[in-house]
Amino acid sequence: MSKRTKENADAGQPARGPLSRVELQLALLLRRAERTAAVRAAHTPALERSGYLLLQVLSTEGPLGINALAECQGLDASTVTRQVVSLEKAGFARRSRDPRDGRAVQVEATPSGEAQLERERSRRRSMYDQILADWSPTERALLASLLERLNQDLDAYRRDPDE
């Protein structure tokens, strides 16, 4: 029996097996994280999640083309283009011609975008510091490691779901 088959065999109690619990807890996590962030912000955030994630990449990687940004985010280039337009309108990013290839466009974070990204990072860290206040440093580190691994595996699955 393959590893995948063993794990899927939530024998006798499918609603209580590990994979069923993972699926349900992830669904709840995503909904609660979004709802908690919105409530705690007490206003419409100036930087939505999609913009936050794009600015994270630009801050780390520097200027990138739309296709490279799309690949980093696991999104379609047309979706990223819409998100970049939104960031541009807010003054958080700018598009310019790629100096290596004048036909291509690159996107970079503006100083205002970098500042907004840092404010958002700070707000989010503060929120999770409160939420995880009763967790030990070891538990926090373990959660971070497991979430990183889950995200890496989700990316690998997205690239080749049949593997």
> Which alpha helices (DSSP H) does the chain contain, by range?
3-8, 18-41, 49-61, 66-73, 77-90, 111-131, 137-159
Q: What's the half-sphere exposure (Cβ side, CA atoms, 13 Å) at 59?
A: 16
Cross-strand pairs, 64: 107
State the DSSP code for 75. -
Question: In 10 A of CB 74, how many CB atoms?
Answer: 11
Cross-strand pairs, 95: 107
State the DSSP code for 65. E
If DSSP states are collapsed to H, E and C, what string results for 94-117?
A: EEEEECCEEEEEEEEECHHHHHHH
Cross-strand pairs, 94: 108
Q: Is the pTM of this model over 0.95?
A: no
Q: Give residue 1's pLDDT.
A: 39
Residue type (1 letter), 64? L
pLDDT tens, position by position, for the chain (163 residues)? 345 545 555 555 566 789 998 999 989 988 888 777 666 566 556 688 889 999 999 999 999 999 999 998 889 999 999 999 999 999 999 999 888 877 888 999 999 999 999 999 998 899 899 999 999 999 999 999 999 999 999 888 888 866 5
- Residue 96's nearest CA partner among 86, 105, 84 is 105
Cβ proximity of 46 and 116 under 8 Å: yes
